[in-house]
Structure 1
Amino acid sequence: MEQITIDSIDIQLLEQLQNDASLSNQALAARVHISPPTCLRRVKRLRDGGLIEREIAVLSVDKLSVVAGHGLCAIVEITLDRQDNDALEAFEKRVATDDAVQQCYRVSPGPDFCLVVHAAHMPDYLTLAQRLFTSDANVRNVKTFFSIKRSKFGARVPLPLRVEVGSP
């Protein structure tokens, strides 16, 4: 993968998009003080370079749970019996395709994985646990923590205020 070079304008664009990805190109250009064509070209370059993976809507889990379920959030630690690369990748691949798994991290030291999962209620979580953990002979240990309150949630990456020319 080719390494992309960014400058302070790119940092400002990324910062603005992290805060509100729904901004029109014209509004984004005005906030960063560049022309709309330049803005469009730079954002395309940032997307093509992989710095912007995707743009999503962040839903209110609390409000959505009232109308659609998914009121149960759990942080799950998983330890596997075998930690060879094939076993780790097989587990990652299986949980990545499950809609209930919001996030999956391979971690060290301690458990092999930490997952953030959402379920409508406890019986739904039990079904999820059986589907993803109990049925996998390589899963040695599962430790689940249930969230009682979400104090903070975000996907914002802290960015430097400025970058040196030529910095990756």
Structure 2
Amino acid sequence: MSKILILDELDKRILLQIQQNSALTNHELAARVHASPPTSLRRVKRLVDEGVILRQVALLAPDKLGPSLTAIVEITLDMQTSEKMQAFEELVAHEGAVQQCYRVSPGPDFVLVIQVADMPAYHALAHRLFATQSNIRNVRSFFSMHRSKFETQIAL
């Protein structure tokens, strides 16, 4: 279990701002959180070093990039030993189309969020990841018809 970092109000203001726009310059961030630029820079570096900020990325609009299909997939394994669960996590970790993987309880063992171009691409991925694996008992897929909300921001 990882160490929980105690955040003060300035840390929370910084995290709120960079969750909304990580492209802010240090001077813009400092002005928005009412801190000096050196203090802002030092705090962000500490939050990165402590693992609170994992990485800063650009969020893309899949519908602007061509055909897109989002699948939410439930996976139930035949055997749920820690080694088998970890092996499945490692299998999907190397697949770029798998955007998220959650180990869940109760119900299925895993829920995946998958982004592919179309149904043939999903079929190929499902065959490669699920049909050829001997420890997968059940696969249940749901296909998004419309995304009404997508957020990455964590409430602080």
Q: Shared topology, TM-score over 0.5?
A: yes
Where structure 2 has 5 or more consecutive residues not aligned to the other structure, the ranges are: none
Corresponding residue for 2:109?
A: 112
Secondary structure in 1 matching 2:39: helix
Where structure 1 has 5 or more consecutive residues not aligned to the other structure, the ranges are: 160-168
Post-superposition Cα deviations, 1:78-132, rounded to whole Å, max 9, x if no partner, equal 0000000000000001101100101000000000000000111111111000110
Question: RCO greater where, 1 or 2, for CA within 8 Å and sep 6 or more?
Answer: 1
TM-score, normalised to structure 2, is 0.96
- Answering whether residue 76 of structure 2 is matched by residue 75 of structure 1, we say no
Residue 45 of structure 1 aligns with an amino acid whose one-letter code is R
Corresponding residue for 1:130?
A: 127
Residue 4 of structure 1 aligns with an amino acid whose one-letter code is L
CA-atom RMSD in angstroms: 1.0
The offset of 1:50, in angstroms, is 0.7
TM-score, normalised to structure 1, is 0.90
Post-superposition Cα deviations, 1:11-32, rounded to whole Å, max 9, x if no partner, equal 0000001110000000000001
Task: Tell me the percent identity.
Answer: 55
The offset of 1:2, in angstroms, is 4.9
Residue 50 of structure 1 aligns with an amino acid whose one-letter code is G
Secondary structure in 2 matching 1:105: strand
Pick from 118, 143, 154: which aligns with 1:121? 118
Aligned length: 155
- Rounded to whole Å, the distance in 2 between the matches of 1:116 and 1:2 is 27
Residue 10 of structure 1 aligns with an amino acid whose one-letter code is D
**Which 4+ runs in 1 deviate beyond 4 A?**
none
Corresponding residue for 1:5?
A: 6
